[in-house]
Amino acid sequence: MFIASSAPQWSDPASPSSETARPAPSRPVPPPPAEAAAASVPQSFAAPIAVAVGTVAVESLSREAFRALVEVERMRSDRSGRSLSVVTLRAPAGDARAAMATAWASRVRTTDRVVWLNRDRLALILWDTDADAARRFLRSAGHAADVPGNRGGTVLYSHPLPVPALEPGADPADGGHDSVLPVEALLVRPMPFWKRSLDVVGALVGLTVLSPALLAVYAAVRLTSPGPALFVQRRAGLGGRVFHLYKFRSMTVDAEARQAAMLTQNEQDGPAFKMEQDPRITAVGRLIRKTSVDELPQLWNVLKGEMSLVGPRPLPIAEADACRPWQRRRLTVTPGLTCGWQVQDRRMAVPFEEWVRMDLRYARRRTVRGDLSLIARTVAAVAREVRPNKPR
């Protein structure tokens, strides 16, 4: 359910009796040159451009600059506890673009931002506005002024947004007035070419070289425990999208159903669930967990592009939804097979907040050298676990 108490109560700006209606602008509509400048947004968005229209400046930003602006506003939302909504609208062609920018800029508050993303998308950044209030504003302001471009192609993003993550195959660019997406969908960072190349090569080599071992583990799980050899679970991926993660099943088939009764035995703080001596783990499962072989089917997720070799570990949907707003920033990059906290000594529990901070540090600084280092450290950590008579 949406948190509407702290958001401004938008109403019809054309109604003089409305307490929250915006008064008519005290100065006339800008002259045609300003409108022409707003319409003639250059093809290159290397530097911000502001065109004064109405009471708010309409800016033209590059995608990266817009992403940085929304990131700052989301941080402000996390710190203040107030809501944030972002609306993107499809702009009409021709001279109507200038009229659209003028109309919306004259109806938002001075604390809001109006930004051209490219020649056919206009974005409204609405501070202290939850999803319900943003919907009311879109209905009232758009209907009152018959704003060009307000019909169709409108996507609403809000933060915090206590709704389920996006389903498999969902596209954050799709939607209408009735669809609300998390702000994380706007902040996703494209995977660098070098990283995707490393993932594809690594996954193909891993699946090929390890195929005999994978078949042996598949048979061992299938023959020693009732149920399927593979465990498939819905996880929160890039931008909150849901994807199906694959693992070799290391627990009994009723493990998820039994977890609710075991929450008091959880040894991990935060929303994640971990137990060193989990009674649901099978005999073969204990061995493949110790060697991390249970995670190898995720090489298929890596090959499909749902995961990377290195990145924040994807959480089950219920655990991802239970994260605090600032912790969800980890969803701005593709989840991974290994990450910083996984190469720590397994005998030392990593607090969940530190776990997330490691993920955020990685998300800010992704490099070839860093990924190769984490892969090497992961192999070394697994070797330490399987080494006989290792020191305790």
Residues 235 and 313 in one domain: yes
Residues 275 and 342 in one domain: yes
Residues 81 and 168 in one domain: yes
Residue 15 resides in a domain: no
CA 8 to chain centre: 26
Residues 198 and 308 in one domain: yes
Residue 27 resides in a domain: no
* Res. 353: pLDDT tops 80: yes
The confidence score (pLDDT) of residue 243 equals 96
Residues 262 and 280 in one domain: yes
Mean per-residue pLDDT over the chain, rounded? 79
Average pLDDT for residues 235-259, to the nearest whole number?
92
The confidence score (pLDDT) of residue 103 equals 85
The confidence score (pLDDT) of residue 391 equals 52
Over residues 30-79, the pLDDT tens digits come to 444 344 444 443 333 334 444 444 467 888 888 889 999 999 999 999 89
d(CA 270, CA 292): 23
d(CA 136, CA 10): 6
Token pair belonging to 336: 């991974």
Last residue of a domain, one of 144, 168, 187: 187
Please report which helix (H) or strand (E) contains residue 185, including its range. helix 184-187
Residues 161 and 232 in one domain: no
* Structure-token match 């703080």, residue found: 269
Over residues 205-229, the pLDDT tens digits come to 999 999 999 999 999 999 999 999 9
Domain count across the chain: 2
Residue 11 resides in a domain: no
Residue 8 resides in a domain: no
Residues 343 and 254 in one domain: yes
- Which value, in Å, is the radius of gyration of the alpha carbons in the chain? 25
Last residue of a domain, one of 157, 187, 217: 187
Helix, strand, coil distribution of the chain in percent, nearest 5 = 40, 15, 40
Residue 200 resides in a domain: yes
Q: For Cα atoms 251, 243, 275, give the angle at the middle one, nearest 5 degrees.
A: 30
Residues 236 and 307 in one domain: yes
Lowest mean pLDDT among 75-89, 253-267, 357-371: 253-267
Residue from 233, 15, 256 nearest 143 by CA: 15
- Please report, for the domain that includes residue 120, its CATH number: 3.30.70
Check residue 223 and give left, alpha or beta (phi > 0: left; psi -120 to 50: alpha): alpha
Residue 4 resides in a domain: no
CB count in 10 Å sphere of residue 96: 15
pTM higher than the cut 0.75 = no
Look up the domain containing 143 and give its range.
Answer: 32-187
| CA atoms lying within 13 Å on the CB side of residue 359 | 26
Over residues 294-341, the pLDDT tens digits come to 999 999 999 999 999 999 999 999 899 888 888 988 999 999 999 887
Residues 150 and 212 in one domain: no
Residues 202 and 180 in one domain: no
Residue 94 resides in a domain: yes
Residues 166 and 50 in one domain: yes
Residue 1 resides in a domain: no
Residues in a beta bridge with 157 = 86, 181
Last residue of a domain, one of 152, 187, 222: 187
d(CA 256, CA 250): 12
Residues 151 and 279 in one domain: no
